[in-house]
Amino acid sequence: MRPARRWAVSHPLPLLLCALCWPGSTRAEDAKVIAALRAARADIDDKAFTKGLYRPAQWGQRLNLSYTAVTDAGLARLEKYNDVSRLDLGYLSITDAGLVHVQKLGKLIELTLIGTPITDAGLEHLAAMPSLGILVLDDTRISDAGLASLQKLPGLGALYARRTGITDVGLATVATYPSLSALHVTDTAVSDKGIEYLKKADKLAVLDVAGSKITDAGAEHLAALPVLRSLDLSRTGVTDAGLVHLKKNAQLQWLGLGGCGVSAAAVDDLRATLPDLTVETKSGE
């Protein structure tokens, strides 16, 4: 598993550094790494955490409990970390009920729940956290319905919902988030209709729809995003015809086209219009 690529967005903090699955690795390889990390931290359970036998590593105001054996019961101790602004609960066996304790962290800006069995019900607890700006929900059990709860978060600038049940219906909701500047919905059922909904998200600077059902029609809708700087269309149905529409995205700096049916000539033509654009055409890079 390689470290996640990060892109600067118009948000006060850098994007969360966490162990996210990389498109160049297989699911089996990812599972092996996750299993090894869990085994290495298996002794960190509710007892160790709640009794203070284990004091999680903190970098600045980041609290990292990822891959440990802490459950909902152990999360009750979070009240002792009320100054934490970044919390990593990746790959824990927690449930929606455990997020009641997270809700009490009034200064929390970044939260990662990647690989947990969290559902839409859990997102309702997060709706009462107005300071939350970056939320990682990759590989969770959320769906379109849960995204409505996040509309109550005025500062939510970056949302990661890769490999989830989100569809075009969910993007219609996401497009109404007032501060959204980065959206990652890799390997979801999102299609051209969803991209049409996103035309309302005029602050969107980073968009990752790799592995989705986007076609050239969706690429045409992307021209309506005035500040789009980073766009990943890898493993989608975009062709040379779709690249023509991207010429209107004057702010575009990086474009992922790995696994797409585009020609070198079409890429060169796009670069002629956008000379500062970096294009990645290698799948999995």
Spell out the per-residue pLDDT of the chain, length 285, in tens. 333 333 333 333 333 333 344 445 566 777 777 677 666 677 677 777 766 545 555 555 888 899 999 999 999 989 888 889 999 999 999 999 999 999 999 999 999 999 999 999 999 999 999 999 999 999 999 999 999 999 999 999 999 999 999 999 999 999 999 999 999 999 999 999 999 999 999 999 999 999 999 999 999 999 999 999 999 999 999 999 999 999 999 999 999 999 999 999 999 999 999 999 999 998 654
What gap in Å lies between CA 150 and CA 167, rounded to an integer?
16
- What per-residue confidence (pLDDT) applies to 178? 96
Cα–Cα distance, 147 to 127 (Å, whole number):
10
CA pair distance 165, 161, nearest whole angstrom: 9
What is the reported pLDDT for 39? 66
User: CA 262, 264, 270, 272: dihedral to nearest 10 degrees?
Assistant: 180
Instruction: Tally the C-alpha atoms within 13 A of residue 119's C-alpha that lie toward its C-beta.
Output: 4
From CA 257, how far away is CA 31, in angstroms rounded?
26
Query: Does CATH place domain 26-165 in 1.10.760.10?
Result: no
Q: Which residues contact 251 (CB under 8 A, 6 or more apart)?
A: 205, 226, 227, 228, 229
d(CA 167, CA 191) in angstroms, rounded, equals: 8
Q: What does the pLDDT read at residue 50?
A: 67
What does the alpha-carbon distance between residue 48 and residue 46 come to, in Å, rounded to a whole number? 6
pLDDT of residue 21: 44
* Residue at token pair 């690249």: 243
pLDDT of residue 282: 84
Q: Which residue has the tokens 């790494």?
A: 33
The pLDDT, as a whole number, for residue 80 is 84
Q: Which position has the token pair 């996750």?
A: 34
What pLDDT is stored for residue 20 in this prediction? 41
Dihedral angle computed from the Cα positions of residues 54, 58, 61 and 63, in that order, rounded to the nearest 10 degrees: -50
Element (H, E) at 160: strand 158-160
Q: How many residues does the chain have?
A: 285
Phi, psi of 58 (to 5 degrees): -125, 130
Tokens of 183: 């959206």
Would you state the pLDDT for residue 52? 57
* Calpha distance 146→166 (Å, rounded): 9
Give the strand order in the sheet containing 254-256: 58-59, 62-64, 86-88, 110-112, 134-136, 158-160, 182-184, 206-208, 230-232, 254-256, 278-280
How many Å apart are CA 48 and CA 266, to the nearest integer? Answer: 58
The pLDDT value given to residue 165: 97
Where do we find the tokens 């002629």? 272
In one-letter notation, the amino acid at residue 133 is G
